[in-house]
Structure 1
Amino acid sequence: MSAQFSSECKLARPDAEALLDRYVGLGILRACQGSASIFAVALNGSRWMIECPDVLSAELKQLFRGIAIPMEPGCRHEHLVIRLNADRYELTAAGKSIGVLGRAEIIPAIKAFLTEALLQTDFTLALHAALLRLGDRQLLIAGAPGAGKTTLALALSAENGGSLLGDDIVIVDEKGALRGIPFPAAVKRGSWTLLQTFQPGVTSCPTYVRSDGKEVRFIPGDIDSDHIAPARSTTMIFLRQNVARRQSLSKMSPLLAFQRLLTEAAAPTRRLTDQAFAALSKAVNISGVYEMEVGPLGQAVEIIRDL
């Protein structure tokens, strides 16, 4: 661990060892048998140093590559520790145990923890939605849980010129610009077959179990610094539950779109400020807004491509 810490933090080996010893003394890290890995992630201005067993390291770094940052000496980091004990993983943050989980549960638990940590940072407004770049356009997809926004977003991102910028959380800045948070997209079991044509790799991804008992597979978002930078939305699509599996697309009023986005939006201290209200209004008013029922996935992709 000291060799890796020395390399990633650009410290002399003795300094790295002394710093690790200090972390152990403070209870931030725990001296243990077996090798461990350390890497860092950024969550909207806050930094987290993650210590995990080597057996998880490559997997975590791949899944969370969109928020990974270099380790920098002198920077303040919060600390998340994953410890392996027999066949169970203990998740600890700031010295407090978050839970003890099995192998299939630990990755969803880490994503859930980092999501909650992100929502404790300083931001104007956060939307529960997916954000994509389609060529020179930006597309936001919103909908109630189970409406199929992740499935549609991943299918669209496979298009030529398509990129998934965020699957679950979209930050609205004070000017009404949108920025997706590039956590890995969680694909539920019912969508694995639907996505095979668009995302062939989904068939070989490991299967995990979320805290709600649902089986998911994770697909990392597309990483490009130009894509992650805030950009104005041009199109918003609100998915509607579609039991009959019929295909439809219709114009939607900006007022209704505003109300729908607010239904599952999050704001610091759970209070919608005048600034957040104005920012969301601006984001909606400069966008083309539609409501959609998704039938066959391929048809839905074609319709949106031709908008």
Structure 2
Amino acid sequence: MSGYLDNESLILYHKKSGRVYGFESESAALLLQIDELLKENSVDEIYSKIPTVPKAILTSFSKFLLCNEELGKEVYEPPLNIGIYKDDEKKREKFSTVPLTFFIEFPKESLKRKIYPLVEHLSRHSRTDKAINIDFIKMSEGNYWQILFNGERIAAPVREESLPLLLQENMIIAYYQSKPYLMAMHAGAVKYGRHSLVFPALSGSGKTTLTAALVSEGFDLYSDEIALLGYDGKLKPIPFCMNIKEGSWSVLNERFPKLEKQQAFLRFDGQKVKFLPPENLAKENDTVSMVIFPKYEKNSECKLERLSSCETLKRIKDAGYQLEKPLSEENFESILSHLLSRPAYSLSYGSLEEAVGRIKDLCSG
């Protein structure tokens, strides 16, 4: 696998299949020429042989050689240790998502009132192949609780007001790790007609607020937090609550009247969060149509700009993602063809309504 960067595009050449992504004809030929030269020459030596290619491009290209730098060296997510499910005699309530069922024991009523809002939308009757018993153990000092999945400790103990958020985070991980997946991106994802959109972004970019606003406009929801891409290249819905941070409550109250009365919980970083059940949850998997990187900037105009494949890859990496397995040529080929080959845009905005309108226009075009 090799790559070539310039200011406009990224070319990736897969030697086994002979497929070239990005430029074609002359540029593709140049790619192969540089690829061969890099085996035995330094960047300066190549520049003397091909002086028409800027040295900065050659330097970027040499660093981006996937077979030397990236391939096989990506950090991938280890499986969550959830122990082995055993049917016990404890009084538990059942909450199901295909293919996983959670059996929860609530040790006290006040804790149940906190946790129930994040699971009450889940099925109470579905039968699935995999199951997890969830228990909460009160620590001896302070108001701290430990979460157990099938008897195994999942994370460090947290205060009761942060327990629901930590629980949902690990339920989501257990959910998407319960079946094979190619990539789990830190991104919102929605569907509108024949278009499925992914919104990778760092925390604080307005990703969840934009996703929720689109859902209120009739978009189907895949997730506000994790865009899950299968090996078939299709997005898969994650049926858990949207987490709305305090700064977005007033913005979304009119779109979601129930939000105002929802209980608030404390996140690990001190921010307050409310849960919103996943409305309009997507009913089927679909391929990615567009990748949009949102960024809320107060009082800024709404600006949509097309991105190169190179910038798309960089921004996805910056936003964060997980792989089920270490990166291989076959897996990267799938990411190329199902994600990086799609149209990608940056979207900066100060008005949520304008951002929603711009995305609708994209989907209608």
* TM-score between the two structures when normalised by the length of structure 1: 0.76
Aligned twin of 2:230: 173
The answer to whether residue 147 in structure 2 is matched with residue 91 in structure 1 is yes
Q: Is the 8 A contact 1:249 1:290 kept in 2?
A: yes
Partner residue in 2 for 1:154:
212
Matches within 5 A, 1:97-116: 97=153, 98=155, 100-116=157-173
Percentage of identical aligned residues: 21
Distance 1:22 1:243 in 2: 52
Question: Match of 1:78, as an amino acid?
Answer: I
Matching residue of 1:266:
322
Instruction: Give aligned pairs, total.
Output: 271
Structure 2 unmatched runs, 5+: 1-85
Kindly report which structure 2 residues correspond to 1:72-91, keeping only aligned pairs within 5 A, or say none.
72=127, 75-82=129-136, 89-91=145-147
**AA paired with 1:173?**
G
2:196 matched residue in structure 1: 138
Aligned to 2:260: 203
**How far apart in 2 are the matches of 1:81 and 1:251?**
48
Superposed displacement of residue 215, structure 1: 0.6
Query: In the alignment, which residue of structure 1 is the partner of 2:349?
Result: 294
What's 1:129 paired with?
A: 187
Q: Distance in 2 between matches of 1:58 and 1:250?
A: 45
CA contact (8 A) 1:37 1:53 kept: no
Query: Given residue 148 of structure 2, which amino acid in structure 1 is its aligned partner?
Result: T
Q: Which residue of 2 aligns with 1:232?
A: 287
SS for the counterpart of 1:299 is helix
| Counterpart code for 1:167 | D
Relative distance call for 1:232 and 1:219 in structure 2 (3 A) is same
Other-structure match for 1:246? 301
C-alpha spacing 1:96/1:222, structure 2 compared with 1 (3 Å):
same
**How far apart are 1:90 and its partner, in Å?**
4.3
Q: Is 1:255 aligned to residue 306 of structure 2?
A: no
**Mapping 1:38-77, distance limit 5 Å:** 38-42=93-97, 45-53=99-107, 55=109, 60=115, 62-64=117-119, 68=123, 70=125, 72=127, 75-77=129-131
| Matched letter for residue 80 of structure 1 | I
Please report how far the alpha carbon of residue 199 of structure 1 lies from its aligned counterpart in structure 2 after TM superposition. 2.1
| Residues in 2 aligned to 1:57 and 1:41: alpha-carbon distance in whole angstroms | 17
Instruction: State the shift of 1:22 in Å.
Output: 6.5
Cα offsets for 1:109-131 (capped at 9, x unmatched): 21122234346443211111111
AA aligned opposite 1:152 = L
Structure 2 counterpart of 1:217, one-letter code = K
- Write the distance in 1 (CA, Å) between the matches of 2:126 and 2:235: 27
AA aligned to 2:328 is T
- TM-superposed CA distance for 1:146, in Å, is 0.6
Distance (Å, rounded) in 2 between the aligned partners of 1:208 and 1:200:
18
Structure 2 Cα separation of the partners of residues 292 and 238 of structure 1: 6
Deviations 1:253-283 (A, max 9, x none): 23321332234110125x2233331222122
Q: Which residue matches 1:194? A: 251
Q: Does 1:23 align with 2:81?
A: no
* Matching residue's letter, 1:91: I
2:79 matched to which residue of 1? none
CA RMSD of aligned residues (A): 3.1
How far did 1:152 drift? 0.6
Cα shift at 1:70: 3.4
Q: Normalising to structure 2: TM-score of the pair? A: 0.65
State how far apart, in whole Å, the 2-side matches of 1:40 and 1:164 are.
Answer: 20
Cα gap change, 1:152 to 1:71, in 2 (>3 Å):
closer
CA distance in 2 between partners of 1:109 and 1:188 (Å): 15
The structure with more radius of gyration: 2
DSSP-derived class of the 2:161 partner: helix
Cα distance between partner residues in 1 of 2:301 and 2:130:
52
Counterpart AA for 2:305: S
Q: 1:205 to 1:142 in 2, by over 3 A?
A: same
Q: Which amino acid aligns with 1:168?
A: E
The more displaced of 248-257 and 111-120 is 111-120
